Amino acid sequence: MSRRWDAVPPQDGRRIVITGASAGLGLETARVLAQRGADVVMAVRNPAKGEAAAAQIHGSVEVRRLDVADLSSVREFAADIGPVDVLINNAGVLAVPYALTVDGFETHLATNHLGHYVLTNLMLAQVRDRVVVISSDAHRSADLDLSDLNWERRTYKPFTAYASSKLANLLFLAELQRRLTASGSTLRAIGSHPGSTATSITGNTGNAFKTWVGSWGHKLAGMPVWKGALTTLYAATMDVPGNTFIGPDGFKEFKGWPTAVGRSRDATDPELAHDLWVVSEKLTGTSFRNE
C-alpha cells in the first residue's frame, strides 16, 4: 500500500450511495467519485442543501432524501433505491446534547449506528460490491453498555456517547462481514476513519466553547477535507479484504495517508459484536438480509 495514495481508480459504470453527502467528508467523497465516473446518489436529510451541494459537483449525481435518525425515512429510501455497487455509511453527529429521536433512541446511537444498521440490512440484497462503514479512532474512548444504550441510568456524556456509537460501527462492521462470509456472499464490509479533519461535525455540541475548540483545533492541527476523505475513498474503491479498517498512517492515526490500521480490544470482541447485533435487531425489527 502506497503511503502517499490519492489515486482513486476509474469508477465508470458504478453506482454509489453516500449518506450525509451534502457537506464535509460526504460531499468531498461524492465529488471525487462522480469526477472519476461513478453515478453518485447523495442521500441527505435536507434535499435543498443537497441540491446546492450537488451543483458544485461535475459528474453524475442524484439527490435523494434520507434522514438516518428516522427509521421510517430509512425504510422509504431503501424501498426503491435499486441496485448499487457501494453503500457508504457516512452520515453522523458528534457530541450533541442529549435528545431522543422520533423512534425513541439516543441521537448518537440512532444516527451513527441504528439508522445505518437498518439501511444496510434493507439494501444488502441490492449491493453488488461492498458496504463502507465510517467510524472514528474515538471508538477507543467508548463506554458501550448494551443494557443502557439510551443513557437512561448513566449520566449522559456527549463525547462518550459519540465514541460508543463509533465502537458500535466497528462491531457492526465485524459482525456484518462474519455473516456475509458465513452465508457464502462475496460482498465485503470495509471500515474507515478520517483522523482529524476540518469539517463542521463539531458544530452542534450545544456548547459554544467546545464547538469553537473542536472547530479550530481540527482546522489548525488536522487535515483539509480533501485529504481526510482519502480513507473513505480507499475503503470504497481499492481491493482490500472484508473487515479491513482504513485510517491515516501518521502518529496515533491523527493525520496522514490511507493505510490499514488497528482497533481497540472491544472492537475485535466477537461476542460483543454478536450481542450488539441482536440488540440492534430487537430495537429496529430488522434482521440480516442478503438475498
* Cell numbers representing residue 221 in the block: 492541527
Q: Strand order in 15-19's β-sheet? A: 60-65, 39-44, 15-19, 84-89, 127-134, 188-192, 245-248, 258-260
Residues 6+ apart with CB under 8 A from 289: 121, 122, 124, 125
Q: Could you give the CA distance from residue 148 to residue 27 in angstroms, rounded to a whole number?
A: 34
Question: 140, 133 in Cβ contact below 8 A?
Answer: no
In angstroms and rounded to an integer, the radius of gyration of the C-alpha atoms of the chain is: 17
- The helix or strand, by DSSP H or E, that contains position 275, with its residue range, turns out to be helix 270-284
In the three-class reduction of DSSP (H, G, I as helix; E, B as strand; rest coil), residue 188 is classed as strand
Residues carrying an active site annotation: 162
Distance between CA atoms of residues 41 and 127, nearest Å: 13
* CA 179 to centroid of chain Cα atoms: 19
Q: What value, to the nearest 5°, has the Cα angle with vertex 165 and ends 81 and 84?
A: 20
Rounded to an integer, what distance in angstroms lies between the CA atom of residue 271 and that of residue 177? 14
Q: Which three cell numbers stand for residue 10?
A: 476509474
